[in-house]
Amino acid sequence: MSDAAVILQNVSKLYGDAAVVDELSLEIQPGEIFGLLGPNGAGKSTTIRMITTLTKPSQGSIRVSGYDVVRQPFLVKRQIGVVLQQMSVDIDLTVWENMEFHGRMHHIPNPQRKKDIERWLEYVELGDRRDDLVKTLSGGMKRRLQIARALLHEPRILFLDEPTVGLDPQTRRRLWEIIKGLNQQGMTMLLTTHYMEEVEYLCGSSFSNNGVTNRIGIMDSGKLIELGTLEAMREKHGKGLLMKQMGDRWDYHFFPTMDEADAFFEKQPNKAGMMVRPSNLEDIFVELTGRNLD
């Protein structure tokens, strides 16, 4: 038996005859931040709903921390924390009351519960807002409260579904640092996002000290079409990129290295409307799916 944190084997989800997720196999290692990307309708949210026990797979098996999501959903729920893009905190309660309610739902006894609530509110920098009604908080503060609440029962795996959607760039980066800090402490995470720079920052390098490499998976039409580290993807598709303006669109041409892209560029008699730059994740994504992420 693999000791992976999450294992999906030939998982499909059918709605009528349509396969929203199509024979997906995937492993996420303990301590990894795994970034799951895909255009709208690719099957990302359905995949997360199946892993977190909210939707049953039509076929295949999913194990989380060794537990089967269909046969042992209660045990799976104890292993996971979930931060959804929809605001799921109660705005008519205070910050502390939201945490207290969650702690009681998970049967965390006092005085441990009080200590844990204080610890996680401090961690997300909301200790001084504990008595404030959630409706008075900014969007970024509400999202930080969602993260604190998801961590209260000390899950082994954190699911982040579009955690920074709708937030300003400064607030978004503040959340990145919280996510990075959790990973440095060994937390396993599955992240979906529409922000390429978010995936490049959080999944493009390793933060934890256990030697685990963060990876990225790209889904399209319910299938996993690419999987690996950012560096391996750039190695495979090309590290250098020549862009050429063709009317109202750009034509992209990958080269194995920047030097080769530069050499090709220098040989062109007419360089108008052309530029060379290093390739990035968005270039690879568009190359694979034919679409921009948004």
pLDDT above 60: residue 208: yes
Q: Is 265 helix (H, G, I), strand (E, B) or coil?
A: helix
Q: What is the mean pLDDT of residues 111-132?
A: 94
What pLDDT shows up at residue 294?
47
What digits encode the pLDDT tens for the residues 147-172? 999 999 999 999 998 888 888 888 88
For residues 273 and 275, give the distance between their C-alpha atoms in angstroms, rounded to a whole number: 7
The dihedral built from the CA positions of residue 230, 231, 233 and 237, taken in this order, carries a sign that is: positive
For the chain, first and last CA: distance in Å?
38
Two tokens at 278? 């290093």
Distance CA 138, CA 242 (A): 42
Q: How confident is the model at residue 1 (pLDDT cuts 50, 70, 90)?
A: very low
Three-class DSSP category at 143: helix
Beta-carbon count within 10 A of 38 CB: 25
Fold assignment, 6-230: Rossmann fold (3.40.50)
Q: pTM above the 0.75 mark?
A: yes
Residue ranges of domains in the chain: 6-230, 239-278
Q: What is the pLDDT of residues 125-153, one digit of tens each?
A: 999 999 999 999 998 899 999 999 999 99
Over range 264-285, report the average pLDDT: 92
